[in-house]
Structure 1
Amino acid sequence: MSAGYGNPPKGSRFKKGHSGNAAGRPRQAVRRVSIAMLFRKVANEQITIELDGGQVMMTRWEALLRQIHTLALNKGCRRCAVAPSDTSAISGRCRARR
């Protein structure tokens, strides 16, 4: 047999037991997890909560929003303040949009 397309010469062929890539396939880089991705992952986990004497499945995010809503219904509750108390910067932006 002569050398040609798809049939390389015997001397340049791979030796038995050796691949053509001595270093092997490069390892894939470890992906870094962003804070936002980690927050979304934890916030979307399903948890069980007792509600009105029964157990209800909901996401952590939904449970947090329900808790904030419940605390906000209690008048004078300072624990439910999610927004900053100094709203001058926010109200300034709102006036500019009107």
Structure 2
Amino acid sequence: MRSTQSPTYNVGYGKPPKTTQFRKGQSGNPRGRKRSEENLVMVFKRLASRLVKVSINGVTKTMPMAQAVILQNMKAALNQDQIAMGNIFRLMEATGEFLDWTNPELVGKPIFMPEKMSMEEMIAFEGIEVVHRPSSHRTSDP
């Protein structure tokens, strides 16, 4: 059996024979990745983003289905529908509408400082404890 390899090319780990290597410009995966099946979240997002026409006070408007459902729930809640009221309250709670934004324990401390602070003042404000560790690369003083 005669070899078509050049004598300088060594075949081994990570070096397949030239005859079995991909040709230049040819993909190693010509059919591509398989598409995943649509799961429940993907179906919900696709349907919720579908545009629908809604009549508001005699004017037809186009909006995503999710927005139209919320709008219908709000109208029903205003007409004393208890289920719709519960839906609106659950939605408001999920989006954080009931949080007390003035309570620092719930919303955290401010991100910016309105005035300049020294390092000591900032440490005291944040309640940070500074620990100084001796470095191993420092030389000791004689």
User: Which TM-score bucket, shorter chain as reference?
Assistant: 0.5 to 0.7
Higher RCO by CA contacts (8 Å cutoff, separation 6 or greater): 1
User: 2:79 is matched with which residue?
Assistant: 74
Q: Given the alignment of the two structures, is residue 36 of structure 1 paired with residue 38 of structure 2, yes or no? A: no
- Secondary structure of the structure 2 residue equivalent to 1:29: coil
Query: What is the TM-score when the length of structure 2 is the normalising length?
Result: 0.38
CA–CA separation in structure 1 for the residues paired with 2:73 and 2:44 = 18
For residues 48-67 of structure 1, the aligned pairs below 5 Å read 48-67=53-72
Runs of 4 or more off by more than 4 Å in structure 1? 25-28
Q: What CA RMSD, in Å, does the superposition of the two structures yield over aligned residues?
A: 3.6
How many aligned residue pairs are there? 70
The one-character-per-residue Cα deviations of 1:44-78 (angstroms, maximum 9, x if unpaired) are 01111111111101000000000000111112x23
- Give secondary structure in 2 for the equivalent of 1:31: coil
Q: Match for residue 6 of structure 2?
A: 4
2:82 aligned partner, one-letter code: R
Which structure: larger Rg?
A: 2
Q: What do residues 1-32 of structure 1 show as CA deviations (whole Å, max 9, x unaligned)?
A: x9638xxxxxxx69xxxxxxxxxx56743411
- Letter of the aligned partner of 2:63 in structure 1? M
Q: Which runs of 5+ in 1 are unaligned?
A: 6-12, 15-24, 85-97
User: TM-score normalised to the size of structure 1?
Assistant: 0.52
- The percent of aligned pairs where both chains have the same amino acid is 15
**Which residue of structure 2 lines up, in the alignment, with residue 45 of structure 1?**
50
